[in-house]
Amino acid sequence: MGVRRRVREIAMQALYYIDIRGDDSDDKVDLFFQLHTAPEKQKDFLLELITGVIRYRKTLDAIIDRFSSHWKISRMSCVDRNVLRIAVFEILAREDIPAKVSINEAIDIGKKYGTGDSGAFINGVLDSIHQEWNQGRITFEPQTDSAPEKKRKEAEKETIVKDDPAASPQTAAPRKHSVRLTARLRKRVVGQNKDA
């Protein structure tokens, strides 16, 4: 199994946990990561998947609903629903990952954790979404930074600097993705392997 597939599986498990609990607060995500660890080099990718799906869930769900014939997202199995959310987020937000890779990984994860019909169902929905995305019939606009969002990010930077005396604003790495990662969640996930 590839490292990225394992990361997608962990993301699906985290989102499944959040979905079942009905609570996407940082506390629930922190609790999940007390029990699960991510491969060191893939933590940013894992965080991007989880926070991206949480942040854009309404948009992702609307797209999935549109292409899942006779199945509202609320009626889907929790596994199928979250595998689809992850894959659709990847297709729309990660141009560096070929859509076919995202689709194939989603199908395999659906087969492993879902029902006997999950693979075919996920394949059908994602293939339709991918075709419409390629033809420009689906739009996805990640939210841009607004004034309150910029203030929140500055507060997160200050929190990171306060929590890590070795860090300074000059050495803080710029964010690579447009998805918002809370400082608390990032600290929890990044710090988990230091104790191991």
| CA neighbor of 106 nearest in space, from 132, 81, 137 | 81
Which long-range CB contacts under 8 A does 31-39 form with residues at least 24 apart? 33/188, 33/189, 33/192, 36/10, 37/192, 37/193, 37/196, 38/7, 38/10, 38/189, 38/192, 39/3, 39/6, 39/7
pLDDT for 1: 63
> For the chain, which residues make up each domain, given as ranges?
3-134, 147-191
Per-residue pLDDT of the chain (196 residues), as tens digits, is 688 899 999 999 999 988 988 877 777 777 777 777 777 788 889 989 999 999 999 999 999 999 998 889 999 999 999 999 999 999 999 999 999 999 999 999 999 999 999 999 999 999 999 999 999 999 888 765 444 455 445 554 444 444 444 443 443 333 333 344 445 455 545 555 444 4
Statement: 3-134 belongs to CATH 1.10.940.10: yes
The predicted structure's pLDDT at residue 187? 52
Burial class (CB in 10 A: 0-12, 13-18, 19+), 126: buried
Q: pTM for this one? A: 0.72
∠ CA 182-15-70, nearest 5°, is: 130
Q: What is the pLDDT of residue 89?
A: 97
